[in-house]
Amino acid sequence: MGTSTLDDALEAAAGIGGLAPSIHNTQPWRWRVAPPVLELRAVRDRQLGVTDPLGRLMTLSCGAALHHARVALAAQGLRSTVERLPDPADPDLLARITVVDRGGASAATTRALAAIRERHTDRRPVSSTPVNPSALAALAQAAAAEGAHLHVLPPDGVIELAAAAAEAQRVENRDPDFVEELAYWVGGTNTPSVTSPSAAGGGETLGLPADVIPTTPPRSTVPGRDFGHGGTLPIGESPARGGHDRAASYAVLYTDDDHPEAWLRAGEALSAVWLAATERGLSVLPLSAAVEIDATRAALRRLLSNLGEPMLVLRVGVPEPGPVPHTGRLQPDQTIEHA
C-alpha cells in the first residue's frame, strides 16, 4: 500500500473514530496521521472539570473512539497493533495504532462498521419487549473481548442501582459548579448547545442539542440524567406500559483496575458492546451519574461484590419505533492533523 493510500485509510479511520459516543458529546480527542501510525490524544480543554476531575470519563470516551477507529481499519482489510499509553512522559498520548499488514475484511468487521454509522443514543423509554438473555450474553462477551466486564443486574440489584443513581443526582443538583457545567454543555429549548470555538463557519457543535433530550423526564426505575430542563424529543407513551421502561435491562460495565489504561479499555468495551447491541436491534443508554460521585460509585462496587471497578451503567432495551436524531460531530479537519 502506497504512503498516500495509507494516509487516506488512516484519515478515514480517524473520521470513523469521531463518530464515537462521548460524555455530553464533548468529543475530547484529537488524531495525528503519520503513516503507518495513527495517534490518539486527549483534548484536556474538553474534559469536564467538575463532573470528571480525574479524566476517567474523558479517557473512556477516547477509548470508544479508539475502538471505532480499530473497526474502521479492520473493515478496510488492514491489520494493526495498538500501544495504549505508550509514553509515560506524555499522558495525553492515549494510544498509537500501527498498521502492519493488509489482509481481508471479515463479515464481522463489515457489520460492525455499519453499526457504527447506525449507532446513536436514544433517551426515550424502551419498549415493553424484554431483552433476550442470549443477546445480553453476547454483549458481555463483547466487553470481555476488550478486557472489561459487563455485569447484568438482577431485579434486586436494579433497585439498589436506582437508589444510587437518585442519590448521585441529588448530590450533583446541590452543587452549583456542577449545574453550571452541565448547563454549558447541554442544550434545551432555551439553551443552545456549545459551538466549537475552532469550528470553521461556526456550524459544527459540541454538547447535546435540544432535539436529543426528551421533552419531559421519562418515568423509569433507574433515573436518567436530570438535565435541568426539557428538550424537544417526544418520548411517546405506549398505553400498554404508560411510558415506563420496565422491560429494560441494566448492567454495570467494569474493569479489574482503576487507572488510565483501564479507563481506555472500558471505552473500547463500551464501543464493542454498543455495536453488538446495535447489530441486534437493541438500544444502549449510558448512565454515568452514579460513577461520578464517590459514595454512589462505592455502592456500585458493592453490587459487583467488590470484584471490580465500575466505569459506567448501561440501560439496554428494545427501542420504540420512530426516528431519533444523531448528535452533531466536529468536522474531520477539526479533529485530525497530519504529520
146 plus 288 within the same structural domain:
yes
Check pLDDT > 80 for residue 250.
yes
Residue 172 binned pLDDT confidence (cut-offs 50, 70, 90): very high
Q: Note whether 20 and 76 are same-domain residues.
A: yes
Contact 70, 12 (CB under 8 A): no
Identify the domain boundary among 120, 154, 189: 120
Is 335 inside any structural domain?
no
74 shares a domain with 174? no
Question: In this structure, what are the phi and psi dihedrals at residue 200, rounded to the nearest 5 degrees?
Answer: -65, 120
**Digit-coded pLDDT (tens) for 76-121:** 999 999 999 999 999 999 999 999 999 888 999 999 999 999 999 9
CB 28 within 8 A of CB 43: yes
pTM over 0.85: yes
Q: Looking at the structure, do residues 113 and 160 belong to the same domain, yes or no?
A: no
Residue 7 has pLDDT above 90, yes or no: yes
Residues 106/283, Cβ–Cβ less than 8 Å = no
Within-domain flag for 199: yes
Give me the number of domains the chain comprises. Answer: 2
In a domain, 329, yes or no: no
Indicate which CATH number applies to the domain containing 62. 3.40.109.10
In this structure, the answer to whether residues 222 and 255 fall within a common structural domain is yes
From residue 248, alpha-carbon distances to 93, 141, 158, 243 in Å are: 37, 19, 10, 12
Per the model's pLDDT, the better-predicted residue between 234 and 294 turns out to be: 294
Which pLDDT belongs to residue 308? 97
Grid cell in block for residue 120: 446513536
Residues in Cβ contact with 233 at an 8 Å cutoff, skipping those fewer than 6 apart: 123, 124, 210, 211, 212, 213, 214, 215, 324, 325
pLDDT tens-digit readout, 286-302: 999 999 999 999 999 99
Note whether 115 and 140 are same-domain residues.
no
The answer as to whether 286 is a domain residue is yes
The separation between CA 339 and the C-alpha centre of its own chain, rounded to angstroms, equals 28
pLDDT single digits (tens) 145-168 = 999 999 999 999 999 999 999 999
Q: Are 309 and 254 in contact (CB under 8 A)?
A: yes
Residue 336 lies in a domain: no
Burial class of residue 179 in the structure, from the number of CB atoms within 10 Å of its CB (0-12 exposed, 13-18 middle, 19+ buried): middle
Q: Residues 6 or more apart from 159 whose CB is under 8 A from it?
A: 221
255 and 137 fall within a common domain: yes
Domain residues for 273?
A: 133-317
Cis? peptide before 36, omega within 30° of 0: yes
